[in-house]
Chains A and B, each alone.
Chain A
Amino acid sequence: MSSARDNILARVRAALGRQAADPAARSAAQVHMAAHPIGPRPALPEDLRARFLENALKLESSTDELATRKDIPVAVARYLDRLGVDRRAAGWPEFADLDWAAAGVDLAIRPTQGLDPVGVTGVYCAIAETGTLVVLAGSEAPSATLLLPDTHIAVLSAGRIVGSMEEAFALIRRERGQMPRAVNMISGPSRTGDIEQTIVLGAHGPFRVHLLILP
């Protein structure tokens, strides 16, 4: 009995006027992929940081620019106070070394399972063209921390802002060699327009995305 796979490929090949796999097409495809051709992109200004911030604000993310990494706990406390929520959060391991107690923030270093009101995560890189955060999943980067809490606080180094999505992919290839299990790109709070095409924030994911930007 022939398999669904064989039948489908046979029908596709018949439609394309060939009986078997075409080795020439295969090698052309390999050449094409290796070249990673880039299509037309909108022009970007010299100052990617400014463009990123402008777009992030358009997406209804909020931003806070910090002088050093040590300022993160205080900035988190300040933001949570402004929101009027408890200074309680789940965070990624990369923030374990900071002095959270001094800032009066109860930061639990663990993956969230849904009950934490606030999640603090890092960011792999960010995209100026759209104001997008790029997060790579990994053992030290549990994905749900940026999804389940009502408030997502993301820490980004300005030096990690690239121009376009294509540049983000090039960076992943260069630094990681291969794609992680998940690349999650986040452009502002979760939203829906499914009722009367009226935009409402906080569909399933966070209501708020707050960016702490390091130099």
Chain B
Amino acid sequence: MKVGLLVTCLVDMMRPSIGFAALKLLETAGCGVLVPASQTCCGQPGYNSGDREGARRLAAKLVEEFEACDYLVAPSGSCSGMVKTHYPELFADDPSMLARVAALAAKTYELTDFLVKVVKLEAVPGRFAGTVTYHDSCSGLREMGVKAQPRALLAKVPGIKLSEMNEAETCCGFGGTFSIKFGDISSRMADKKCQNIEDSQADAVVLGDLGCMLNIEGRLRRRGNERTKVLHVAELLAGETDEGAS
């Protein structure tokens, strides 16, 4: 089984450890992992900003890079959602491209979804002594159906306790360029998310999308919260955190 890892541009730049954590999890599960070296961005920033042409260019490039793989897996609900649900719409008027896109979309997975549904991972390398709360990122939840999968995987981590926050499914306010164009509204939404995280008394908030992580961590620290860790679910499952691995 050849799995193509879509690292995502944000992980590539901002937090490479998530990419390595995803790699480790996939290898633990026995997958042969391919990381196409020319991958850059899935085109979502342009797509969500109305730049259809730019998005199509980057989408076509990504299809080229990944279509030979048996699966495309991304440690992001947002980027996998882009490929799975929005690429077909982008090429709706281009039958030859649409067929290729549809084939890729059919084998595209968000990381935790893939680990639970396809490779049925039994045990995870990570351990965590403490309480975590899980934030459901919007695209993962509503485009990729990611809800039970990360929780099922977290339950396999020795020492961990899950404490659900209120409104776990409410948007954190990131929304890509929205967070800069409408910074005040976005910050307020992040602030409410942070309040719910703090109220859950968790030692760490865990989630599956780096954009939301940056937003939540940035707001937590600005609020003066230095205590609550912000972890990608892959980091925690792979043991790629300060807590160490087994």
Contact between chain A and chain B defined by CB under 8 Å? no
